[in-house]
């Protein structure tokens, strides 16, 4: 019976979100203006063309941030299930954190985090 309630709730949520999407598409006034279609850069008019190459360091720091940020997200389920997992789960998370620290120290020593 609980499964049926969960399916019903999921269908209702999906239906409401689909209805909101369709209504917003149908009811919005579509008036293209020059301001809406112009390039926006932090409130300023663009000074140059947008095809200026970026430094590779910018992309490297961004990728490293995403990697370490996603790895830290794996700690949230462990925090929720801490009591159920017991001692083995704790040691697995310690190993996981140790691998994170080793990776961070490696990137630091190689110079991957230097902005120069």
How far apart CA 100 and CA 92 sit, in angstroms, is 12
Name the residue with higher pLDDT: 2 or 22: 22
Task: Please give the C-alpha separations between residue 32 and each of 14, 22, 45, 79, in angstroms, as whole numbers.
Answer: 31, 20, 19, 49
How far apart CA 68 and CA 59 sit, in angstroms, is 14
Torsion of CA 65, 104, 88, 70, to 10 degrees: 10
Which residue in this structure is represented by tokens 């040691």?
91
How far apart CA 16 and CA 72 sit, in angstroms, is 33
Q: pLDDT of 48-107, one tens digit each? A: 666 777 777 778 878 888 888 888 788 888 888 877 888 888 898 889 889 988 988 998
Q: Classify domain 2-110 at the CATH topology level.
A: Methane Monooxygenase Hydroxylase; Chain G, domain 1 (1.20.58)
Burial of 57 (0-12, 13-18, 19+ CB in 10 A): middle
Residue 2 has pLDDT above 70, yes or no: no
Cβ atoms of 30 and 37 within 8 Å: the answer is: no
How far apart CA 9 and CA 80 sit, in angstroms, is 24
Query: Would the pTM count as exceeding 0.75?
Result: no
User: What's the pLDDT at 19?
Assistant: 95
């Amino acid at each position: 019976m609980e499964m049926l309630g969960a399916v019903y709730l999921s269908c209702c949520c999906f239906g409401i979100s689909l209805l909101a999407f369709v209504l917003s598409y149908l009811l919005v006034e579509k008036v293209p203006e020059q301001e809406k279609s112009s390039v926006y850069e932090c409130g300023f008019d663009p000074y140059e063309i947008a095809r200026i190459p970026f430094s590779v360091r910018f992309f490297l720091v961004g990728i490293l941030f995403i990697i370490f940020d996603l790895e830290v997200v794996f700690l949230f389920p462990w925090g929720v299930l801490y009591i159920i997992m017991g001692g083995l789960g704790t040691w697995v998370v310690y190993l996981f954190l140790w691998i994170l620290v080793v990776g961070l120290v490696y990137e630091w020593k190689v110079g991957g985090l230097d902005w120069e």
